[in-house]
Structure 1
Amino acid sequence: MASSIIVYVLLFLVLMVILGSFVTVKQGTIVVITIFGKYRRILLPGLNFKIPFIENIYSKISIQNRSVELEFQAVTFDQANVYFKAMLLYSVLDQQEETIKNVAFKFVDERNLMQALIRTVEGSIRAFVATKRQSEVLILRRDIVEHVKEQLDTILEGWGYHLQDLQLNDITFDDVIMKSMSQVVASNNLKAAAENEGQALLITKTKAAEADGNAIKISAEAERQAAQLRGQGIALFREEVAKGMTMAAKEMQGANMDTSVILFTMWTESIKHFAENSNGNVIFLDGSTAGMENTMKEMMALNLLQSEKVRK
């Protein structure tokens, strides 16, 4: 009976030794092994063998990306308080053995690492912001990130880490400064709107003036051409009338008739035309014998003058 118990105990111990000899490392994790407190080696993801009771697991290090949120305050060159909300993304630099040793033994624990990392980032941003004015901070978001990464890359590599990204999610100032900045933006927008409106009004008036000018030019040109055509028509009419009167006068002279009859006929035709086309208007003519005689003399004088011009 006692021998059976001893056998069971030995089998149990052997089983425990066998089970303790194998270590399963999860994906994205590296295990650091020590012997009596001294670094021995690292175990990569998968099933690994270790010497039971001699090799011990010191720490399990995640090589996946990790993030932490930051909230801190900085002061600008012109003594304005700036409040930052940021997200820090970092990871283990690589899976090299020396890198893993730095990660495992540089800091006492994870809390001390985080404290050093956060304070380093905050100090780098504060130092950068202290050289800038309040009005420059908002437009220098990318410059701040690049400055921090440049300053921290060497330091973090010595710890075995790499800064993947730094996102400045929110940058704010004191309420008084925020209100004054809003007023400045609003006044600049109003100024730009007024300038745009003035430019639009100027363009509209300029275009309207150009259109009016072009319309006046076109109207003047049309009037000039119309006047020219009217003058040409009147000149042609007068020329044809003169030709007709000349021919009629020649025929009447050949027939030994008085040419003044032509003028009398034209005078009576004119009175008839006035009566038919007066449209209700009153035209006063001297219908007396003396008036008619004077009119006939004037028309005859004009006829003689025209005849002399034709002969010349």
Structure 2
Amino acid sequence: MTFFLIPIFIIGFIILLSGIFTVKQQTSAVVERFGKFLSIRNSGLHFKIPMVDRIAGRINLKIQQLDVIVETKTKDDVFVRLKISVQYQVLKTKIYDAFYRLENPQDQITSYVFDVVRAEVPKMKLDDVFERKDDIAIAVKSELNEAMIDYGYDIIKTLVTDIDPDLQVKEAMNRINAAEREKIAAEYEAEAERIKIVAKARAEAESKRLQGQGIADQRREIARGLEESVDVLNNVGINSQEASALIVVTQHYDTLQSIGEETNSNLILLPNSPQAGSDMLNNMIASFTASNQIGEEMKKQNLKKSLKNKKSDDS
């Protein structure tokens, strides 16, 4: 007798255990009785009548993401692939609708995404698609929310995560961007070169100015020294013409001396004979004397002309 009771107890225990079930966090279980909806069980430990009640399915209440790839054409006839990421969640208050009204919610969402994207993108040019991708995402979210809320699904967010134009168009865009960057780089290089040229010109101008100022100062000092030398020679009875000639001759010999100090110099100074200095001195004195005579004669002629003109004016 006992031998027959043991299997019965084991079978009864197994049947009893089949009536106990658990539901995980962020999950709901749909329980049916004889194929008819009975209840929705949330997370925790639950009981059901064995052989009568069954778990028809479980609904995930977490936020889920569905990535949809849509290929369409823009207003400027460029084929482009867009990746739309849809984040959605089952509403706790509409678990019945989410479980019984839609067989495959992901296919339904995909269909709506295709419909909205292929209605919005052909209105835009390719550049506008990149600039206004948020507008596309908002349009998709608005359409999905309106359609899926009745089925118990809430659209949390939609994102345009990738825009991939045709390969040839992408290469052309890259060439345009590269050319634009090269243009900007060339402009910067030209501006830098212009600044360098202007700075160099300013430096050269300043150098020339300082050089000219130095030459002027040098000549001023030379003239002052010559003036002092002439005054000294005048004090010892040498007139200005002789003093000037003597100074020139002295400078001539100083030049010869400085040339002689240069061992690798190829410069030849003419005339360079021994009597060249004496001849130069005599020629310069004669030249100065003749120049003074001509000057005095011109002064006399100018004086006569002025007196003659004055007499004619008086008469």
Match of 1:52 in 2: 50
CA distance in 2, matches of 1:160, 1:47: 26
**Whole-angstrom CA distance in 2 between matches of 1:271 and 1:214:** 34
Paired position in structure 2 for 1:72: 70
Q: Which residue does 2:137 correspond to in 1?
A: 145
Aligned to 2:59: 61
Give the distance between the partners of 2:248 and 2:206, measured in 1 at CA.
45
Match of 2:165 among 172, 188, 193: 172
TM-score relative to the length of structure 1: 0.67
- 2:193 aligned counterpart, secondary structure: helix
Alpha carbons 2:130, 2:163 under 8 Å: kept = no
Larger deviation: 119-128 or 270-279? 270-279
What's 1:19 paired with? 17
* Distance in 2 (alpha carbons) for counterparts of 1:219 and 1:276: 27
Q: Structure 2: 5+ residue runs without aligned partners?
A: 258-268, 293-315
SS in 2 for 1:78: coil
Q: Any idea what SS the aligned residue of 2:278 has?
A: coil
Q: For the Cα contact (< 8 Å) 2:31–2:54, is it kept in 1?
A: yes
Counterpart Cα distance in 1 of 2:206 and 2:277: 45
1:137-166, Cα deviation, whole Å (9 max, x unpaired): 234444433442344344344432334453
Kindly provide the amino acid, as one letter, of the partner of residue 160 in structure 1: Y
1:260-298: CA deviations, max 9, x gaps? 7x99x989x87995686351653343599xx69x88xx7
- Is the CA contact (8 Å cut-off) linking 1:121 and 1:152 kept in structure 2? yes
**C-alpha contact (below 8 Å) 2:68/2:113 kept by paired residues:** no
Asked if structure 2 preserves the Cα contact closer than 8 Å seen for 1:93 and 1:157, the reply is no
2:57 partner SS: strand
Question: Residues 25, 172 of structure 1: CA spacing in aligned structure 2 closer, same or farther, 3 A cutoff?
Answer: same
Counterpart check, 1:99 vs 2:91: no
- Cα distance in 2 for residues equivalent to 1:277 and 1:164: 98
The 2-side partners of 1:17 and 1:287 are apart by: 145
2:213 to 217, 221, 224: 221
* Paired residue type of 1:88: S
186-195 vs 209-218, greater mean Cα deviation: 186-195
Q: Aligned in 2, Cα 1:230/1:75: closer, same or farther, shift over 3 Å?
A: same
Residue matched to 1:160: 153
Matching of residue 277 in structure 1 with residue 254 in structure 2: yes
Q: Deviations over 1:42-85 (max 9, x none)?
A: 2233322234344331211123343444333112123332223x
TM-score, normalised to structure 2, is: 0.66
Question: How many equivalent residue pairs?
Answer: 270
Tell me: CA distance 1:79–1:270, structure 2 relative to 1, closer, same or farther (3 Å): closer
Is residue 156–residue 163 contact of structure 1 (8 Å, CA) maintained in 2?
no
